[in-house]
Amino acid sequence: MLPNSPLLLSNKGLKPITRQKAHQIIAEAGRTVGLPNLGTHSLRKTFGYHMYQKSGCNVGMIQKMLNHSQSGTTLRYIGVEREEIDDLCNDLNLT
C-alpha cells in the first residue's frame, strides 16, 4: 500500500469510499451484532481511549491525531474522568 493510497476502496474502481459509506458500513455491522448506535464517531473515540489507556500513548500525540486544540478537550472526549485529568495536570505541573 502506498503512503497516500486510500485505505478502503469503493466498488467503482480505485476511488476511496465516502465518509457516508464508511458510516453506513459500520452502522450496519453494529446492528448485526446488537450495537444499534455504532458509528464512525464511536470508533474514533474508542481509538483515542485505547491509545490513552492501553498503549500509554502521550496525550499530546492523541490530541494531534484527533485534531483537538487542547489536551483537556481530548481527555474529556475519550472519557477520562475529571479526577484523572486533575491528577495528570498535577503530574505535568499544569495547575
Report pLDDT digits (tens) over 29-70.
999 999 999 998 888 999 998 998 888 788 889 999 999 999
Cβ 22 vs Cβ 40: under 8 Å? yes
**CA torsion angle 90 77 52 88 (round to 10):** 0
Q: How far apart are CA 32 and CA 49, in angstroms?
A: 24
**pLDDT score of 85:** 64
Residue 47 domain flag: yes
Residue 72 domain flag: yes
Percentage of the chain lying above the pLDDT 90 cut: 32
Host domain of residue 40: 19-91
**pLDDT score of 72:** 85
Higher pLDDT, 56 or 74: 74
C-alpha distances in Å from residue 14, one per residue of 7, 10, 25, 37: 11, 7, 18, 30
Our count of domains for the chain comes to: 1
Is the pLDDT assigned to residue 83 strictly greater than 80? no
Residue 5 domain flag: no
**pLDDT score of 92:** 63
Q: What is the pTM of this model?
A: 0.66
**What's the mean pLDDT when you consider all of the chain?**
84
Residue 4 domain flag: no
**pLDDT score of 69:** 93
DSSP bridge pairs for 9: 16
